[in-house]
Chains A and B, each alone.
Chain A
């Protein structure tokens, strides 16, 4: 657990130097990885019953739907 916290925080220092357009993707990927570690291990999601895991997946999925479908309106305004 301690290793997880350390390694992942180290990555943040590198982010400053990284300045191409993919900055946000790298940053968010690391964030997702960190969050997944917290959820799986600190919150014991890995060892929880199926319904807990369903609740987690559902919340993330619903958030994704909100973000994705709303942005799809804005991003496709110029298409047709």
Chain B
């Protein structure tokens, strides 16, 4: 199939192409819901089995860092939505500015995550790597706390991986927007990468209360 301008050969109109791309991204996001869902299932079961240890373990991750990250990520969703709007009304300079802001906010998020991971490394809370929940903890508590931290790293790690991929996509978007490629007639990549970015935000919206806000007194 060959392309004429932005229209790929298998499509009849640009509108069909846009609708198809959008539906494709939504269907992909539904697979991501179930993908993360398996982790949420594991979390749900383990938390209901070991509520006290999970609560104790949750207290050792830094709440205010998580809260700041939540604000950062929601803000980046906002700038992403604004960049989609900018591309729809043809404001190319604003589009690039908003895309870059989204990328910067995303990097801030990842940086803060890096700090948190480092803290956990220092405290011997990384499973499989000299794990020791606290001095004097018995075998069972250690094992159950390790479950919490396996889930913590597993869920936030998978989330961070998705963010890194998102950042890569944003870099590509910024490059293309600087070339002036996106117009009100053709802004499909901005739209669908926006959908992806918002989804990653939503995953964090659920991760934050589940990991950081377990019965803090």
Interface residue ranges, A against B (CB under 8 Å) = 1-2, 5, 8-9, 12-13, 15-16, 19, 23-24, 27-28, 30-31, 34-35, 38-39, 41-43, 48-49, 51-52, 55-56, 58-60, 62-63, 66-67, 70-71, 74-75
Stretch of B120-128, B152-160, B204-212 contacting A (4+ beta carbons < 8 Å): B204-212
State the Cβ distance, B217 to closest chain A Cβ, in Å: 5
Query: Is there an interface contact between B201 and A38, defined as CB atoms closer than 8 Å?
Result: yes
With both beta carbons as reference points, the residue of chain B lying nearest to A8 in the complex is identified as B74
Task: Contact check, B34 vs A62: say whether CB atoms are below 8 A apart.
Answer: yes
Min Cβ gap B102→A in Å is 12
Q: Are A2 and B78 in contact (CB under 8 A)?
A: yes
B40 located at the interface, meaning its Cβ lies under 8 Å from any Cβ of chain A in the complex? yes
Decide: B30 and A27 in contact? CB cutoff 8 A.
no
Q: Which residues of A contact B108 (CB under 8 A)?
A: none
CB distance from B32 to the nearest CB of A (A): 9
Once A and B bind, how many residue pairs between them come within 8 Å at the CB atom? 111
CB pair B30–A28 under 8 Å, yes or no, is no
List the interface of chain B (C-beta within 8 A of A).
19, 22-23, 26-27, 29-30, 33-34, 37-38, 40-41, 44-45, 48, 63, 67, 70-71, 74-75, 77-78, 80-81, 194-195, 198-199, 201-202, 205-206, 208-210, 213-217
A12's nearest neighbour on chain B, judged by CB, is B67
Q: A52 vs B70: C-alpha distance in the bound complex, in angstroms?
A: 27
Give, as a whole number of angstroms, the nearest-CB distance from A30 to chain B. Answer: 7
Is B201 touching A58 in the complex (CB atoms < 8 A)? no
Measured between beta carbons, the chain A residues less than 8 angstroms from B37 are: 62-63, 66-67
Docked-complex contact B48 and A71, CB < 8 angstroms: yes
Contact B216 A16 (CB under 8 A): yes
Does the CB pair A31–B205 fall under 8 Å? yes
Alpha-carbon distance A35/B209, docked complex (angstroms): 13
Contacts A13-B67, A31-B206, A48-B22 known; list 5 others, CB within 8 Å.
A12-B213, A38-B77, A42-B80, A43-B195, A67-B41
Instruction: Check B81 against A42 for contact (C-beta < 8 Å).
Output: yes
**Contact at B40–A42, with CB atoms within 8 Å?**
no
User: Which residues in B have their C-beta under 8 angstroms from that of A13?
Assistant: 67
A-B contact pairs, 15 of them (CB 8 A): A1-B78, A5-B77, A9-B70, A23-B215, A31-B206, A35-B202, A43-B198, A52-B26, A55-B30, A56-B30, A59-B29, A62-B34, A63-B34, A66-B38, A67-B41
